[in-house]
Structure 1
Amino acid sequence: MKTLNLFTLVVVTLTASVSLQACRHSDRTNAIPAADTIPVALMALQHSSSTAAFEATGTFTTNDETLLSFKSGGVIERMYVREGDLVRPGQLLARVHMDEVDARASQARLAVEKAQRDYDRAHQLYRDSVSTLEQLQNAQTALRMAQQDVKSIQFNRQYSEIRSTSSGYVLARLAQEGQVVGPGTPVFQINGANEGNWELKVGMSDRQWAATQVGDTASVQADALGDGKLKAVVRRKAEGLDPSTGTFSVFLGLLEKPKHKLAAGMFATAKLQSRARNNSSWHIPYAALLDGDGKEGYVFVTNDNRIAKRVKVTLGPINADQVTVLSGLEDAKGLIVSGSPYLVDGASIRVVKQN
């Protein structure tokens, strides 16, 4: 009887021990936390179809700024205008000493007279069968060459003076009286400001240049214009980089006459509206962008509403509350617009709001 009771006690004790161990194992299993999920707000991604708008800065100029020079060169005898002076078409601006030019003209006329005498003599001798036909032809050629020299000198004499080609202002006087200048050396720089040929030359990045087309509209604002704005249109685009500025030049023609007086080199800002529609871009909230540097940045997206994925995107224009993404979201279905600062690549998410 005592043996049976002892056996029963041992069995009960073993059973209680196994049950306690099972309970402790169950408690450890339940104590392991499930993976944390981060609540986020989601926005569906759709391609935008809109025109590009951006700003560019530049300076006023005219489309007929000209560098004037002497064709033959020489010693400048007289200069009749200074910087800032108003000029009219055909107005005499400067001239060189004419002594040397006149001497060349006299030499050319004397050469023609001699060639004419030689030709007359050769013609008479040929008629008398004393000279050959070749000698007559050579004399005739020499006469024609001397006559052409006279025409050349007369033409060059006309360009021993500098005359204005348009109605405008002298922008720069690049030489002084008594200075020796060579053929083609710039002496004056003038423009046609009084003929209404004002335009704005702006510098653009390669991306802006590619998005701009001839005919795109713009509004121009400058301190000299006060609160007013001028309507403009893209007239032409430079097809090469300007090495002095590192930008691509675009020229905007003014569509209305300025009420205020403009001057060459005056600074202005243009807001351009491109006619080219961009069908491969997305407009996203600024708050969704992470680590942006003006050209590239990062955002979090999801395709299954469960896992967040960090992707690199290429940026377009950035506004106060909106960013244009040019590429990087082609394979994404949803953009995480709230909760991004707490996410890492591959994190589990829980969508609490979806737009």
Structure 2
Amino acid sequence: MINAKIKSFVLIVPVTVISILSACKGGKEREKVMIQQDTIPVKVISLTPENADAQIVTSGYFTTNDETLLSFKNGGVINRIYVKEGDQITKGQLLATVNPTEIGSQVEQVQLSLQKAQRDYERASKLFKDSVATLEQLQNARTALEVAKQQLQSAKFNEGYTAIRATKNGYVLRKLANDGQIVGPGTPVLQVNGANEGKWILKVGLSDSQWSALKIGDRASITSEALQGRILQAKVSRKAESIDPQSGTFGVELSLESGDLKGLAAGLFGRATIYPTSKQTAYSLPYDALLDGGENEGYVFVTNDNQTAKKVKVQLGAVQKDKITVLGGLENVGSVIISGSAYLTDGSKIKVVK
């Protein structure tokens, strides 16, 4: 009986060990299969730098670099505004007036104070000569007289700013107040520019790579529907030193050269082609490599070790028939993944296939 139990135990132990070993071996095989399933086959291409298309096509709006907000120095009730939006104005032209009653009363008060100070000083001078008034009293009377003179000069200066006059030849862009309205000191009443003098510019917004490719003085050509087919020549006159937080672009101003500028108005839409003097390094990629493409930027997957995919942001350039130009974002990149990107995430394991 005992021998039978021992034999049975001896038979059970090898079977159990074999089962455990088989289970371990099966687990390793399943893990290997799972690893193989997580590795995504992709196709890649090596990057070859080339010169980017020198032209930068963009759009913006016409304006001038001397737009000015005009206001009253002292404020008050607006008597009358003599111009409307779009009116042509000339330097020195009367544009608006404020009711002068208040400032006129202040001038009268200061004049009366000056007269009193003058009488006090004359009286103190006579008394000082008769040894009745002291030197200190004479000096105080003289000081009061000088203060009254300065107050009168300040009041007359303010009285001269009860009217708004044009500071240069140009146009009225906006009318910001109306007759009878009460405005405070410095409150904008009119917005004008010097467009009548031909100082037109086109303001455009560029990506960081486009902005860095430009230099002051680079040539540009501008078209607009308002120009009726005319092409205006311009040059880069200013580059913003910081990004516009609203648009996310860098501002560039294109100054129009002398020519036929008839038909232009502030705010008109214009399209510009800019020709940078400096060359950019760019890369041409097939469309399959691009993910989430926008107007000037998109994303691609790259790899440097042919084992891991990395998602990077790139700046886009010219669009060609079957490929797109990338202007930035691929520096220090070995290869770009052009097939299998739809199944990838940042950090995915990959297997490069031919």
Distance 1:143 1:173 in 2: 43
Give the whole-Å Cα distance in 2 for the aligned partners of 1:94 and 1:251: 32
1:264 counterpart residue number: 266
**1:212-255: CA deviation from partner (whole Å, max 9, x where unpaired):** 33222222121112333222112113334444544332211112
What is the number of equivalent residue pairs in this alignment?
303
1:204 aligned partner: 206
2:259 alignment partner, SS class: coil
Partner of 1:158: 160
CA distance in 2, matches of 1:276, 1:166: 38
Q: Please give the per-residue CA displacement for 1:267-291, whole angstroms capped at 9, x wherever unaligned.
A: 112222333433xx34224357354
**Which stretch of the first structure deviates more once superposed, 200-209 or 42-51?**
42-51
Paired with 1:44 and 1:204, the residues of 2 have a C-alpha distance of 29
| 1:346 corresponds to | 351
Aligned to 1:295: 298
Cα distance 1:230–1:317, how it changes in 2: closer, same or farther (>3 A)? farther
* C-alpha distance 228-244 of structure 1, shift in aligned 2 (>3 A): same
Aligned twin of 1:188: 190
Q: Do the aligned partners of 2:302 and 2:333 also contact (CA within 8 Å) in 1?
A: no
Counterpart AA for 1:295: G
Whole-Å separation in 1 of the counterparts to 2:142 and 2:331:
82
* Residue number among 224, 233, 240 corresponding to 1:231 in the alignment: 233
**How far apart are the structure 1 equivalents of 2:208 and 2:283?**
21
- How far, CA to CA, are the matches of 2:54 and 2:152 in structure 1? 61
C-alpha spacing 1:123/1:235, structure 2 compared with 1 (3 Å): same
Specify every segment of 5 or more residues in structure 1 that has no aligned partner in the other structure, as ranges: 1-40, 350-355
CA contact (8 A) 1:297 1:315 kept: yes
Q: For residues 203 and 42 of structure 1, do their structure 2 counterparts lie closer, same or farther at Cα, with a shift above 3 Å needed? A: closer
User: Could you tell me whether the CA contact under 8 Å between 2:290 and 2:298 is conserved in 1?
Assistant: no
- Deviation, 1:128, is 2.3
Offset at residue 331 of structure 1 (A)? 5.8
Give the Cα–Cα distance (whole angstroms) in 1 for the partners of residues 309 and 101 of structure 2. Answer: 81
| Bigger Rg, which one | 1
Q: Which residue of 1 aligns with 2:33?
A: none
Is the contact made by 1:51 and 1:276 (CA closer than 8 Å) also made in structure 2? Answer: no
Cα gap change, 1:256/1:301 in structure 2, threshold over 3 Å: closer, same or farther? farther
Aligned equivalents of 1:286 and 1:266: distance in 2?
Answer: 37
Cα offsets for 1:68-123 (capped at 9, x unmatched): 11111111112211122111100011111222222221211111111111111112
- Which residue type is aligned with residue 155 of structure 1? F
Q: Which region of structure 1 is more displaced relative to structure 2, 236-245 or 173-182?
A: 236-245
Residue 217 of structure 2 aligns to a residue whose secondary structure is: coil
For residue 286 of structure 2, what is the aligned residue in structure 1?
A: 286
SS in 1 for 2:157: helix
Query: In structure 2, do the counterparts of structure 1 residues 235 and 245 end up closer, same or farther at CA, with 3 Å as the change threshold?
Result: same
Distance in 1, matches of 2:337 and 2:181, equals 72
CA distance in 2, matches of 1:50, 1:91: 52
State how far apart, in whole Å, the 2-side matches of 1:169 and 1:91 are: 12
Give RMSD over aligned pairs.
3.3
Aligned twin of 1:316: 315
Residues in 2 aligned to 1:202 and 1:149: alpha-carbon distance in whole angstroms: 49
Shift of 1:130: 2.0
